[in-house]
A and B are shown apart, each in its own frame.
Chain A
Amino acid sequence: MDSECSRLLPALCAVLADPRQPVTDDTCLEKLLDWFKTVAEAESSLLLLQENPCLVELLSHTLKSQDMSARVLSFSLRLAGIFAAQENCFQYLQQGELMLGLFGEAGPVGLPAWSVPSVRSGWIQGLCSLAQHPSAEQFLVDCGAVDTLFSLQGDSSLFVASAASQLLAQALSLSLQGRDTPQLGSQDSDWPSCARSIVGHLEEALRSRATPQVTQALKVLTTTFGRCHHPWTQALWMQLSPLVTCLLEKDPIPAAHSVADLFLTMARSPVFASSDCDLWVMLVRTLSRLSPTQAGPLALGVCKLHVCPLALRTQAFDVLLQPMACILEAAAQPPGPSDLLDGTRGSSSMADTLLASTSSCAGLLCQSLAHLGELQPLSHSPRPWPQAPLLEATLATLRFCNGSAVPLSSVGVRLCGILAGCVRVQRAALDFLAALSQGTGSPDLVMKVSAVLLEYLRSPDSSPMVLKKAFQATLQWLLTTSQAGGSCDPSPHSQPFIGELFPVMQKRLCSPCWEVRDSALEFLTHLTAHWGGQPGFRQALLASDAPELAKQLLRDPEGYVRASAVAAMGQLAARGLHASSAHPEQPGAQQKHLLPELMDILSSDSEGFPRRAVMQVFTAWLRDGHAEVAQDPERFMAGVFQVVGQDLDWEVRLQGLELAGVFLAQVLGPPACPYAAAPPTAAPSVQLAEVLRALGRVRVLEFAFHTLFDCDRPVARKSCDLLLLLRARTAPDSRLQGAGRCPDTAAVEATLQAWQEGKQGQPLGELGPEVVVAVLWMLDLEGLQATLAESSDHVEQSPQSLLQDMLATAAALDDHEADCY
């Protein structure tokens, strides 16, 4: 701890101990604790306490004071825990009876403040911090903390209850640490007293008929097995497994989610995975006993296990497939459903759950679709991924939801009624349909997918979110089918599909709902990005009104839509596709008008998103050598930077620097290869001077210097990086460096100084090449870069600042008190 902090600490402790000066800001105390934790990790806590007796005084005062605020009491308990984490410091505090006073039965447990949840939480966190060494183990038993923790497991505050369970798990681990499994026999006397007490409590809770108590016990076990992979955990399980087995006998299984969590945690532990314990048998049993909704997460967990018996993995996989199998069966048309479950049909309990109500049906299907979506990319599937039946089932689900299914079975008819118009399921199914595009599909199935997606894209009933998902799924499928064909072109099967997409897209671009217009524009942008160069696509696009409609949306009242329209038009223009259908042969005729229109948006749009989008388009255009920009890049850049320099949106300025970077790279040429055998050759000085002049003309330099002192740190950092890059390229040229401290340089330096001080209005002087190089070398860019790399509030975050702030706040409160007189 530095001396300044040591100096401030007594005053702060006095403030904290003074009940007349209540600490109103919890975050200060949290920051203070973080700082003490850092200090305690770095140096000896004992030394810290000895050098700063005010800290022990504060803790002692906590014990004595009756009117200590709950905040400070909680803080003191947590602080004591942090210090007592080191055994010698624990003993030091113990000598003064401080520990027992703070955490024993005579401590806050009996005070009225105990009713405040933050005090109970502080008490637990203090104990959590200190429960690190053997002395602590005994202390937990002696001070009666374990018994208190048992009762706190059922605390009304969920945070307190959860922390109590975690501390019990920690205490159990602490107690059994370092003991060999053979030492832990089945006799109670073989176990250390702390562990004996906790295990006894767990046994009692597991026998209880009250589900909350069973849940609490299972949580402690889950935490224990999750954190600790020592062999003694196996002995613990041997002792408790009969009770857990009993739970599985009950109908329904109490605390089913907690049982599933426990088994999954155990299955992930090497202790149980490699042993011949009954875990796998119990998992098999549990999977078959849980309701479909409860079994889903457990089955997913099992499928994700790296080590797991194949039979169990297969069973879990089947559990996840069951709802889809049911759907497939319900939607089956002669000659019967496709085979999803290796011959087995959807279970009756599954059908019951699906048919019980809309909410249970939607819940189960959404869960199943999400789980299968997570499972698809995993490689260790127990069986070949049932791509085709799953596709069929997903399509059937989507048809049930939009009412286009014509089921023959009674279950299907009822599902039709239950799922009609269910947006939740539609979203989940479309997500999964998009995920399924990663697999293959027969041409027939792909046609079916296209048909259903078109139904959704056309339907007036598709909600904006469903429509967005439908667009995403469509794009994924188009990509997959084109990749499957081995080329970038849309596959021959997709060509008619794309042809049908344009009328839909046109209509969606005219939707009164802005989210729909936005999604349609995004879709158009993606389509163009992928297939803008393909003749078939170009023909279909140019024959439609989509480019014209997208252009119209540059003036949309909604900022997000304008931004998407900018991106879409940028992409269309990059491909020479932004001409209207009336002039497909003369794209250039309209091309001229887009740049001024985008410039107009950049300079006058009231919202940031469209302006950012314009900058992104410009950057892409410059990078790709778009014709309009390539004709006269300097004029283009000058126009852009005249506007961007004034922009109030930091992301627009940041994007401006990105554009400047691209321009810089283009005018400077490719950098020398760092691995080249020969030393880098400098650009000829004449050429470099010309480059610097050009940068000055297009206002890039002025913009870069200006943003170097930008109030938004990311902008300043980017600018710094850009100038460092420029400086590196000027380094070898000694002739240009010769400007030294000429009067022009001094003027520029003065201006930069003024800018740094916040006087932004001052103009930058003449920026000749020599002056630029001189200024670049004169500025401490590395130092600035290091400063900017720090978090923006690193000064305010220093402990010294924190202590001063807290003291100042207390003083201000004093002042207010004085004012009262």
Chain B
Amino acid sequence: MLDCGLDMTSTLNFLPLPLVQSPRLSNLPGWSLKDGNAFLDKELKECSGHVFVDSVPEFCLPETELIDLSTVDVILISNYHCMMALPYITEHTGFTGTVYATEPTVQIGRLLMEELVNFIERVPKAQSASLWKNKDIQRLLPSPLKDAVEVSTWRRCYTMQEVNSALSKIQLVGYSQKIELFGAVQVTPLSSGYALGSSNWIIQSHYEKVSYVSGSSLLTTHPQPMDQASLKNSDVLILTGLTQIPTANPDGMVGEFCSNLALTVRNGGNVLVPCYPSGVIYDLLECLYQYIDSAGLSNVPFYFISPVANSSLEFSQIFAEWLCHNKQTKVYLPEPPFPHAELIQTNKLKHYPSIHGDFSNDFRQPCVVFTGHPSLRFGDVVHFMELWGKSSLNTVIFTEPDFSYLEALAPYQPLAMKCIYCPIDTRLNFIQVSKLLKEVQPLHVVCPEQYTQPPPTQSHRMDLMIDCQPPAMSYRRAEVLALPFKRRYEKIEIMPELADSLVPMEIKPGISLATVSAVLHTKDNKHILQPPPRPSQPTSGKKRKRVSDDIPDCKAVKPLLSGAIPVEQFVQTLEKHGFSDIKVEDTAKGHIVLLQEAETLIQIEEDSTHIICDNDEMLRVRLRDLVLKFLQKF
């Protein structure tokens, strides 16, 4: 199984979970059907024309119907965003296999899960809505609830216990480490340049190679650069995790982020940045580190609020070997690789586990707050949206591309605060993909259907799709696809003593052949040629042999033949040996030599020769020997 990400966009259909009692949210009117039927008004609330489920947010799980997940042997994880559904798989499906991931992926993935669990669990909500999920009722609901797919499979968030259990099934791997899977294939993680510890995977046998490219970046940000060279010579390259906003250049967006941040703070407003506790935030803090002095923002406090803020900031500094070269060299100076250490030291950046406690004492405005969750449905961000939403001096800047900012803002309407959308997605865009594919030259590319056509809103933008030769094979949800290659060869090992006994004969310069008589031993997808057992001693008794002794007898081996029969010379030879009245006919595949007198046919074809004569074994053997004179034997 390649990755197991969690679709969190389902949470956008739910009302936010406020940290403190929100009169506005509690007083939202219940929704009733057109005919006035209000049986759903406890479950569904209406806010500025949108309907939301008033319940604990639920998540959309990976597809579980298509295959029995208990039969999955291995899960390969690409990056920490792609493992958020892991507890659902490992704890509830009978999965008994192994999960492979790099250390930073596991550690930061744990932080993301911990934050998620914390956000949900610290605001317990008694109510759980399920009535609306009834298919007959769902049909009656307004969009987007009406169009939500597989709502019956949506699940509440997992617990920390499940997280810990899931993570215990992960086996840590390092870049370029070769991991043997049941002798059948070897898997290798490669740096993908997107996030700390993010990987692409090579899955290869001796003769086939499949690359799985997911969430990669060619930009110079904090992680180790993408390893492109190792992706070369792939039979199939499975490509996914491209940028979600192909028209937004990350550099331009960072500029936009800084400008809007500065303008807001200068006017006395506060800036709210809904974000994940790891990833782009490191780059944003680095950028702000360089920017705040020039923009005269040195005295503006920056707050990072997350249950895992401290761990995230500290973890980032210790994964030196997973960082880009510049940051790695800093470690040897020794200096912290990320400048947010200095921001913390100089009190410009302060971090808190939540808005409760120390934060309320230190809180000073105007300020900049980085906090989660980017969906605006849970976490401390809900509090700040409620607090600052009424003033047009304040700004919320969206940098995470995973959620539609308009949908995220829907339950906060009407909203006075300014909203800026600066999605910073460093993953590959289509120009970079096209360069990558030219460089790597896979025989086939397999990708989601969405990548093979321009975005629906910009159907003329042919540059916003994958353009490669041969055209990429696309797949859609729940589609079963046969990868375009066949396993035609297997590597077989020859035991040394058997190899010693071989006598190769050169049939062409550089090509030698030898006949081998051996026993093929196959175990765990490994094939070994072993010397044949010595001829069995004739058994004295008539006792029946045991099955295990039933090994093939070694009969006298006939020599193998090679070469071509020159027809003219062959006819001359026949004549010399007394055959007369010989006729040669050309056929599509070769020749027929007709011995009319002997009523015999010799069919000579490229890969076979047949002597057809009626019941005259002597004649056949004579003719066979004449044929053999023209062929090499070994």
Contact = CB atoms under 8 A, between A and B. Distances in A.
Interface in B226-258: 247-249, 252-256, 258
Nearest to B460: A413
B294 A416 contact: no
Contacts of B296: 552, 555
Given A555-B296, A558-B294, A406 B460 contact: yes
Nearest to A507: B259
Contacts of B294: 512, 514, 556-558
Instruction: Categorize the interface residue count of chain B.
Output: 20 to 34
Interface residues of A, number: 33
A461 B245 CA distance: 13
Nearest to A557: B294
B405 to A, nearest CB: 15
Contacts of B287: 512
Given A413-B460, A461-B249, A512-B287, A557 B258 contact: no
B461 interface: yes
Interface stretch (B63-71, B260-268, B376-384, B590-598): B260-268
A462 B249 CA distance: 10
A417 B259 contact: no
A460 B255 contact: yes
Contacts of B291: 512
B252 A403 contact: no
Interface string B289-303: 011011110000000
Contact of A462 (B252, B259, B422): B252
B525 to A, nearest CB: 45
A512 B462 contact: no
A420 B461 CA distance: 9
A518 to B, nearest CB: 12
B462 A511 contact: no
Nearest to A561: B294
Given A510-B258, A511-B255, A557-B293, A460 B422 contact: yes
Interface in A200-250: none
B259 A461 contact: no
Nearest to A513: B255
Contacts of A510: 258-260, 262-263, 266, 295
Given A507-B260, A512-B290, A557-B293, A461 B252 contact: yes
B462 A413 contact: yes
Contacts of B463: 416-418, 420
B259 A508 contact: yes
Interface string A416-453: 11101100000000000000000000000000000000
Interface string A132-154: 00000000000000000000000
A406 B462 CA distance: 11
Interface in A499-531: 506-508, 510-514, 516
Interface string A529-545: 00000000000000001
Contacts of B461: 403, 416-417, 420
Given A417-B463, A460-B422, A556-B294, A512 B258 contact: yes
Interface string B267-278: 100000000000
A407 interface: yes
Contacts of A407: 460
Contact of A416 (B248, B258, B460): B460
Given A406-B460, A460-B248, A461-B249, A512 B254 contact: yes
Contacts of A549: 266
Q: Which of A510, A511, A545, A556 has the most CB of B within 10 A?
A: A510
A466 to B, nearest CB: 11
Interface in A392-407: 403, 405-407
Contacts of A417: 461-463
A558 B295 CA distance: 11
Given A512-B294, A552-B296, A557-B293, A506 B460 contact: no
Contacts of B266: 510, 545, 548-549, 552
A414 interface: yes
Contacts of B252: 459-462
A333 to B, nearest CB: 12
A516 B291 CA distance: 13
B243 to A, nearest CB: 14
Contacts of B262: 510
Nearest to B292: A512
A545 B268 CA distance: 12
B591 to A, nearest CB: 50
A109 B254 CA distance: 64
A407 B461 CA distance: 9
B615 to A, nearest CB: 74
Given A407-B460, A557-B293, A460 B258 contact: no
A371 B528 CA distance: 73
A555 B296 CA distance: 8
B232 to A, nearest CB: 24
Contacts of B462: 413-414, 416-417
Nearest to A420: B463
Contacts of A557: 293-294
Contacts of B267: 545
B418 to A, nearest CB: 12
A420 B458 CA distance: 13
Contacts of B256: 460, 507
B223 to A, nearest CB: 21
Nearest to A417: B463
Contacts of B258: 510-512
Nearest to B260: A507
Interface in A89-140: none
Q: Which of B287, B458, B463 has the most CB of A within 10 A?
A: B463
A566 to B, nearest CB: 16
B460 A516 contact: no
A791 to B, nearest CB: 42
Nearest to A552: B296
A656 interface: no
A421 B246 CA distance: 12
Contacts of A511: 255, 258-259
A161 to B, nearest CB: 37
A548 B290 CA distance: 21
A534 B103 CA distance: 64
Interface in B458-472: 458, 460-463
A513 B263 CA distance: 15
A512 B460 contact: no
A157 B290 CA distance: 49
Nearest to B431: A421
A549 B262 CA distance: 10
A340 to B, nearest CB: 22
A412 interface: yes
Contacts of B422: 460
Contacts of A405: 460
Contacts of A459: 252
A549 B266 CA distance: 9
A580 B510 CA distance: 87
Interface in A641-658: none
Contacts of A406: 460
Contacts of A514: 294
A508 B258 CA distance: 10
A654 B287 CA distance: 39
A814 to B, nearest CB: 50
Contacts of B255: 460, 511-513, 516
Given A421-B249, A506-B263, 5 more contacts: A403-B458, A418-B463, A510-B260, A510-B262, A557-B293
Q: Ordered nearest first, which 10 A-B pairs have the shortest CB separation? A: A460-B252, A417-B463, A510-B262, A460-B256, A510-B259, A512-B258, A417-B462, A461-B252, A507-B259, A512-B291
14 contacts: A405-B460, A406-B460, A407-B460, A412-B460, A416-B461, A420-B463, A459-B252, A460-B249, A507-B263, A508-B259, A510-B295, A511-B258, A512-B295, A514-B294
Interface of A: 403, 405-407, 412-414, 416-418, 420-421, 459-462, 506-508, 510-514, 516, 545, 548-549, 552, 555-558
